Amino acid sequence: MSTTISVPPQLLLERILTLEIVRVTERAAVSAARLRGHGDEKGADQAAVDAMRRELNKMPIEGTVVIGEGERDEAPMLFIGEKVGAGIDAGPKVDIAVDPLEGTTLCAKNMPGSIATMAMAEGGTLLHAPDVYMQKIAIGPGYDKGVIDIDAPPEENIRRLAQAKDVPIHGITALVLDRPRHAELISKIRATGAGVQLITDGDVAGVIHCADPENTGVDIYIGTGGAPEGVLAAAALRCIGGQMQCRLLLDTYSKRNRAESMGIEDPNFVYQIEDMVKGDCLFAATGVTDGSLLSGVKFRKNVIQTETVVMRSVTGTVRYIKADHRQFEKFHLD
């Protein structure tokens, strides 16, 4: 005679958010890492997407992808609105945000900083954002509200942060995506006396870096990047603390119309972290290539090694998981 054990929903959610989500980003990272340095951005992205989808569909959840890859990159995608998980009655309803391979170029060129990442939250609590550009400004924990203002000039934000941190302006370092659109921004930041650290890709990891300035040397993230990455970064900051303000760049009728169809009524709304991630959430990322946030996948003779960071907002817990995968043939066959 079989016995059914009833598991309270919150405990099931916690189990999913601590271990099973790690498997999702691990598999995506390993699949993408097989194509490191091959110069095949779309191939690596496809491998990560396929692996992530397979793992998500094994999970005891009723999940909806609310942040996925999109039209702008013309890439293989876990599309917005896609249903994942074992299905109805399998487990809790959750919102999912994914970037199966952040830093596709970094992976293709085997450069530092490529990661596989995702966030999971209670159903109906993640911002449904279209795949458009987003203005972003973020700092780490420990500051009073109002230190940063997305509508203030960058010079003012730098000065405010230096004052709040009680350091001279030259003691502040801003992280900015190295893009032509940021040339004026970079000049204005440097004109204050602050330093600028440039990254070629990977602004999810970039935002996370400003949450730990003592180890990363990054105090503030400023610039324009993808909206999906913005929501993922907000999920991470909700877990580890910090401030972030964002605004969608809906500069065409088609973008505004798409945003409206997703429930966004005010195209100029300034989003705080709490507007983008309203409930309990978890963020996970696994390194694909070596970087300052995570080590990349290592293919040893009899083992595959991965490093993952997993965070949960309700507890503020941050775990780094270094794993040795000895049944590595499963990474070929699953």
* pTM for the model: 0.90
Query: pLDDT value at position 10?
Result: 52
Strand 220-226 to strand 173-177: parallel, antiparallel, or no bridges (unpaired)?
parallel
Residues 6+ apart with CB under 8 A from 122: 13, 92, 93, 94, 95, 279, 280, 281
Q: What is the pLDDT along the chain (334 residues), one digit of tens a residue?
A: 434 444 454 544 555 567 889 999 999 999 999 999 999 999 999 999 999 999 999 988 899 999 987 544 445 678 888 899 987 776 788 999 999 999 999 999 999 999 999 999 999 999 988 889 999 999 999 999 999 999 999 999 999 999 999 999 999 999 999 999 999 999 999 999 999 999 999 889 999 999 889 889 999 999 999 999 999 999 999 999 999 999 999 999 999 998 898 889 899 999 999 999 998 899 999 999 999 899 999 999 889 999 999 999 888 889 999 999 986 555 554 4
List beta partners, residue 304.
299, 325
All structural domains of the chain: 7-125+279-329 (3.30.540.10), 131-274 (3.40.190.90)
User: ∠16-18-23 over CA atoms, to 5°?
Assistant: 75
Query: pLDDT value at position 68?
Result: 86
Taking each helix axis from N to C terminus, what angle separates 183-191 and 154-165, rounded to the nearest 10 degrees?
40
Specify binding-site residues for substrate: 102-104, 133, 179-181, 201-203, 226
Query: pLDDT value at position 130?
Result: 85
Query: pLDDT value at position 306?
Result: 97
Query: pLDDT value at position 81?
Result: 86
**Residue with the two structure tokens 């040339």:** 183
Specify binding-site residues for Mn(2+): 45, 69, 99, 102, 229
**Residue with the two structure tokens 């405010």:** 160
Query: pLDDT value at position 30?
Result: 97
Rounded distance between C-alpha atoms, residue 130 and residue 80, angstroms: 8
Query: pLDDT value at position 328?
Result: 55
Query: pLDDT value at position 5?
Result: 40
Residue type, 130: P
Specify binding-site residues: 45, 69, 99, 102-104, 133, 179-181, 201-203, 226, 229
